[in-house]
Amino acid sequence: MISEEEKEELKIELAKLEDEISTLRQVLAAKEKHLVEIKQKLGISLMNELKQNFSKSWHDMQTTSAYKKTHETLSHAGQKATAAISNVGTAISKKFGDMRSHSIGYSIRHSISMPAMRNSPTFKSFEEKVETTVTSLKTKVGGTSHTGGSFEEVLSSTAHASAQSSLAGTRLPESEEELQC
């Protein structure tokens, strides 16, 4: 139990603390206002401060061992994916080259129909290898939850990338006239 005298002392102390807190808030507000004025005179804006804070945080994060290990792993996976896609593009280019050389005087339409080609053992084997490679890459890079990985999409995007590549030096035919020898 607290006596009446102690209650009075605590009430006085409480009032003093509330008064000090109020004074400190006023002093803090005045100092914050003065800070803003100095920053304006120096040309330091909120945006500049945010950029500096972000840059520092980004730098700090990049120096962590977790970031370095993740960066190294993803870089390695990217190199493997690039090599695999390049190999697929090379295989497709070679296949088109082989098909062109075997169909002297005929267009690809006359030499083999697409459904017949898709059902051929060579194409089935090639399709299985590409699907296995894509699945393996998806698993290594970040799980199987990625979308857009059907064989047709991979084949189409790889053929497009291969056609765009100036490093390979080979160009895939773009029209029926180019397919004819």
pLDDT digits (tens, 9 = 90+) for 84-111: 888 887 888 777 776 666 555 555 555 5
Q: What is the mean pLDDT of the chain?
A: 76
pLDDT tens for 8-41 read 999 999 999 999 999 999 999 999 999 999 988 9
Domain total in the chain: 1
Residue 177 lies in a domain: no
d(CA 89, CA 78): 16
Report yes or no on 18 lying in a domain.
yes
Q: Are 92 and 159 in contact (CB under 8 A)?
A: yes
Residues 6+ apart with CB under 8 A from 88: 130, 133, 154, 158
Burial 91-128 (b: 16+ CB within 10 A, else e): ebbeebeeebeebeeeebeebbeeeeeeeeeeeeebee
Does the residue 174 lie in any domain? no
Q: Is residue 39 in some structural domain? A: yes
Q: Taking residues 47-53, what's their average pLDDT? A: 83
Question: In the chain, pLDDT over 90 holds for what percent of residues?
Answer: 20
CA-nearest of 26, 21, 166, 30 to 89 is: 166
* Residue ranges making up the domain that contains 108: 4-162
The answer to the question of residue 55 being in a domain is: yes
What is the pLDDT, as a whole number, of residue 168?
Answer: 45
C-alpha R_g of the chain: 35
Quick check: is 95 in a domain? Answer: yes
Stretch 37-61: mean pLDDT: 86
- Please write the tens of the pLDDT for every residue from 115-129: 666 677 777 777 788
173 within domain boundaries: no
On whether residue 168 sits in a domain, the answer given is no
